[in-house]
Structure 1
Amino acid sequence: MTTTRNVHIRKNQHLDVFDRLALVLLNILWGTGISLWWLLLFPMISAPLALAVTVGVLWGWPVGLATAGVFVTGLVLWRRLRPEMFDRWVTRRARTRALTWWRYRRCWVRLMTACHLSIDRGDRTLIPRLLGVQIGAATDRVRVRMLDGHCPADFENRVDHLAHAFGALDCRATITGPGTIELAFRHSDALAATVILPRVDHWTNPKKAA
């Protein structure tokens, strides 16, 4: 899932007991749905886990634990023998989705409001729509649907605020289509690679010096 609908926040909204219970129930259902979605995204982990649980229920927990141990050993061997393939199918996908949620989705409404990119209309506050996120090694590219009443300068003039709000080193705003803008957040310097210098022995051999 790569899109987030425009958010409408109603002001001066008071919740009674039933509203709060409904909100808790919705949060539980949302968390369950997210967990199931992650299990579907990573069948190479969820399928062995489900099989181990099934074996444990049918033949007892020692057999189920042994089955889980076999699959964990297989994952470790996969990681050691085929690191590129393991990174492509497991590590990179998990990192991308985790960072997408942690850096952007969980705080999108709050930070858009803090950067003054929301629009108040009567009793509602409109938030720009998050269309998609591409996590890179050093730079993340975030596509945003501007609201009616926004112009490119609204984002271009707030790139410093956006970089600070999202914890990036800097931010660039680029128009990519009608009503669509791309925010490039640089979180690290791709050129700043660690250089290992050869060891230099400063002690001089007395015999050679003589």
Structure 2
Amino acid sequence: MTTTNVKIVRDSDPATEIFAAFIYALMYAVVGAAIAVHWALLFPMISLPIAAAVTVSVLWGWPFGVGVAGIALAGIMLWRLRRPEMFERWVTRRARTRFLAWWRYRARWNRKLTACGLAIIDGDATRIPRLLSVAIGEHSDRVRVRMLDGQCPADYDNRTSHLCHAFGALDCHADLAGPGVYDLTFRRSDALAETVILPRVDDWTKKEAA
């Protein structure tokens, strides 16, 4: 008796593939637009001059748009030179904290939490504790986490060493912040290791003598 295997090949519908590609492109466009609007609202001192330059280019031509962009760039550089503390607070520090929050935690959160044993495997699905917020500090970062159902505070207290090494910190401390919410504090540098220049003792004696 001879057995014959028959393989049925179904031709995909080109219209279906085109429609699926269009949906994916639309989704990426919406996500990209949302991210662009988010950053524009965070840094209006940068986004408004760019919007003005683009608008002028469309209405009156690109040479005028380039002129507006040059004036805006000169104003931003003058602001940075004349008021460095204000520029640091409103531009540099905000951009730095958001980039570090993404680079240190958000970009690799799922993979690191899974490696540290804080994920829960439920059949074919993997549940990861939700990252609620990230606060970047000068010497330490605070990460707020939503615990998964079935987890207890001891699960995080016993994993601080794993989390410390996973995220490249010097130390990790876990605190219960509320029902089902945990704060993870990652120490990035030693504040006491910085050199502090003290005034000369003879300066004090001169002031007292005067």
TM-score exceeds 0.5: yes
1:133, distance to aligned residue in structure 2 (A): 1.0
Residue of structure 2 equivalent to 1:105: 106
- CA deviation vs aligned residue, 1:25-74 (integer Å, no higher than 9, x gap): 53443233212210121111100110011112222222211111111111
- Kindly name which structure, 1 or 2, has the bigger radius of gyration based on alpha carbons: 2
- CA deviation vs aligned residue, 1:92-123 (integer Å, no higher than 9, x gap): 11112111111111211111111110111223
The SS at the match of 1:160 is helix
Distance in 1, matches of 2:118 and 2:156, equals 8
The SS at the match of 1:137 is coil
The SS at the match of 1:191 is helix
Residue of structure 1 equivalent to 2:71: 70
Residue of structure 1 equivalent to 2:151: 150
Distance in 2, matches of 1:86 and 1:50, equals 20
Distance in 2, matches of 1:136 and 1:82, equals 22
Q: Which amino acid aligns with 2:126?
A: T
Residue of structure 2 equivalent to 1:207: none
Higher helix share: 2
1:135, distance to aligned residue in structure 2 (A): 0.8
Change (3 A) 1:154 1:194: same
Change (3 A) 1:19 1:165: farther
Q: TM-score, normalised by structure 1?
A: 0.78
Q: How many residues align?
A: 182
Distance in 2, matches of 1:26 and 1:92, equals 31
- Cα RMSD (Å) of the superposition? 2.4
Which runs of 5 or more structure 2 residues have no equivalent in the other structure? 1-16, 198-210
1:192, distance to aligned residue in structure 2 (A): 2.5
1:195, distance to aligned residue in structure 2 (A): 6.4
Distance in 2, matches of 1:146 and 1:20, equals 36
Distance in 2, matches of 1:48 and 1:159, equals 45
Alignment of 1:169-180 (within 5 A): 169-180=170-181
Distance in 1, matches of 2:148 and 2:176, equals 14
1:147, distance to aligned residue in structure 2 (A): 0.9
Residue of structure 2 equivalent to 1:13: none
Which runs of 5 or more structure 1 residues have no equivalent in the other structure? 1-15, 197-210
Alignment of 1:1-210 (within 5 A): 25-194=26-195
